[in-house]
Amino acid sequence: MNQELRNKVISCFKQLHRTRLTVFQGDREALDAAREKINAEFAKNRSVADADKVKELITFAQQVEEVLRTSVIQAVRKEDGLYRAKIREETTKLDNKPYQPMPESMIGPFKKKTKCID
């Protein structure tokens, strides 16, 4: 593996660990589990020498880092049965719209046209 690719692997490894520290801040069990998983995955692929495969693994690790950074939130227990979500600036927020009934114009074609006979 060339030096440039090696530097990318190390950079990706460090970025995953920095993200882990941010996302799981204050949760020792989650921090430890994430550290073990990151280290195990990089150790498992340590012997990969094919440059294309290494690039593929780097891309996958970058995607994992993005998902951790933008999708994982922490729930912190405040009182008995009450939790507070720790949502960071980079957390992806989606529209949360309540259920709305289907408009009449869309129901029309699905209405039964025959009468029910008892």
Alpha-carbon distances, residue 26 vs 21, 41, 58, 75 (angstroms): 9, 23, 28, 11
Indicate if the pLDDT at residue 111 is higher than 70.
Answer: no
7: pLDDT strictly greater than 70: yes
For the chain, the domains span 3-77
DSSP 109: G
**Res. 93: pLDDT tops 90:** no
Q: Kindly state the tokens that stand for 32.
A: 């430890």
CA distance 60 to 76: 30
* pTM score of the predicted model: 0.72
Q: Quick one: which of 2, 36, 21 has its CA closest to 69?
A: 21
